[in-house]
Amino acid sequence: MEAKADEPATAVEVQQTQDKPARVVMARVGESEITVEDFIGFISLNPERVREARGKEGKAAILKIMIANVLLQHAMAKEGLLPKSAGTQEYLAAMNKLGEKYFPTPADPDEETLKSFYESNKDAFGIPASTRISQIQFRFPKGADDAAKAEVKARADAAFTRIKAGEPFSDVARELTENPGAKDTSGDLGFIEKIAWSPWLKNALKDVPVGGYTEVLPSPIGYEIVMITDERPAIVTPFPEAKERIRDHLKAEAQNKVRDEYVKRLASQTEIQIELDELKDAYPQGIFP
């Protein structure tokens, strides 16, 4: 079904008319337009962006990247670096030349800077420490009132009593857990890297040893009992082996910062208009604050 002329577009997902998608403009950058078709083509190149685009914040972040790319294309054309029918290699060559002029590759960071970054980010070099976790989960039904929540708490308390009495955690989990992803594994969630723990989980497990379990814990969706069954220490790459990666990372980070400032200047000199209604309020501080 095509959107009526007086109905604003409210989603990136636009139904196709015959064999061509309806043309919906998401943003205007100077005289250029970014359409839904452009957006879909852009995210299709990266599976992670496809997942990100399912939410409003993700869509807004991706559109911001596309707007920056258009601004850079305009700058390359203005500098006479980008032919009208440029292919991928010509585009990359033009971008390199633009970068050399406005956001060049910075000098190598010194040894002290490299070591400082390494010491502050050791988990990023190697395999982070991880913990194997089992869980018994009791979920609130949709629209649960206080009485329904109390009933869920009572079931969780009864399960905790059985575990304290000596029943194997895995047996109780297999029978009672309401996490469908852990029912067939007797509550086992596998190894989870500690750096990926949510604040809730960090707080819940901060004093729990291997083989130990928590009391009944309130969670965002109900109640849980969590057990630690195993731990793996971090395996950290030595500094000499990580140094080159750190150098490349810090140089890219510094260059991107200068590039972002350059894009911000370009944006201040260009009229940019968000046309898709659902994203018009997505940049309360501006697209490039």
| DSSP string of 79-138, one letter each residue | TT-S-TT--HHHHHHHHHHHHHHHSPPPPPPPHHHHHHHHHH-GGGSEE--EEEEEEEEE
Residue of 154, 136, 150, 133 lying closest to 229 (CA atoms): 133
Other CB atoms within 10 Å distance of the CB of residue 145: 9
Domain range enclosing 69: 16-107+249-279
CB within 8 Å of 241: residues ≥ 6 apart? none
| Average pLDDT, integer, range 11-18 | 46
Predicted confidence at residue 230, as pLDDT, reads: 97
CB within 8 Å of 29: residues ≥ 6 apart? 67, 70, 71, 74, 270, 272
| Average pLDDT, integer, range 49-73 | 95
If asked whether residues 142 and 229 sit together in one domain, one would say yes
State the Rg of the chain over Cα.
Answer: 26
| Average pLDDT, integer, range 160-166 | 97
Confidence category of residue 22, pLDDT binned at 50, 70, 90: low
How far apart (Å, rounded) are the C-alpha atoms in residues 264 and 71? 9
Considering the entire predicted model, what is its pTM? 0.62
5: pLDDT strictly greater than 90: no
Is the Cα torsion angle 161, 167, 169, 174 positive or negative in sign? Answer: negative
139: pLDDT strictly greater than 70: yes
| Average pLDDT, integer, range 159-170 | 97
Please list, residue by residue across 55-86, b when 16 or more beta carbons sit within 10 angstroms of its beta carbon and e when fewer do. Answer: eeebbbebbbebbbebbbbbbbeeeebbeeeb
Residue of 272, 257, 244, 285 lying closest to 108 (CA atoms): 244
If asked whether residues 169 and 264 sit together in one domain, one would say no
Confidence category of residue 251, pLDDT binned at 50, 70, 90: very high
9: pLDDT strictly greater than 50: no
How far apart (Å, rounded) are the C-alpha atoms in residues 88 and 131? 45
| Average pLDDT, integer, range 268-277 | 96
Q: Which residue has the tokens 């729990």?
A: 208
Q: Does residue 139 lie in a domain region?
A: yes
Q: Which residues pair with 106 in a beta bridge?
A: none
Is the Cα torsion angle 185, 191, 195, 196 positive or negative in sign? Answer: negative
Give helix 56-78 / helix 36-43 axis angle, nearest 10°. Answer: 100
Question: Which tokens hold the place of 137?
Answer: 């989960």
If asked whether residues 135 and 196 sit together in one domain, one would say yes
Predicted confidence at residue 60, as pLDDT, reads: 96
If asked whether residues 81 and 163 sit together in one domain, one would say no
3: pLDDT strictly greater than 60: no
| Average pLDDT, integer, range 135-163 | 96
14: pLDDT strictly greater than 60: no
26: pLDDT strictly greater than 60: yes
If asked whether residues 189 and 260 sit together in one domain, one would say no
If asked whether residues 165 and 83 sit together in one domain, one would say no
Predicted confidence at residue 4, as pLDDT, reads: 43
If asked whether residues 178 and 218 sit together in one domain, one would say yes
Predicted confidence at residue 21, as pLDDT, reads: 55
**How do residues 67-89 score in pLDDT, each as one tens digit?**
999 999 999 999 999 887 888 89
Predicted confidence at residue 8, as pLDDT, reads: 47
Other CB atoms within 10 Å distance of the CB of residue 179: 18
If asked whether residues 228 and 273 sit together in one domain, one would say no
Domain count, the chain: 2
If asked whether residues 102 and 183 sit together in one domain, one would say no
% of the chain surpassing 90 pLDDT: 76
| Average pLDDT, integer, range 118-146 | 92
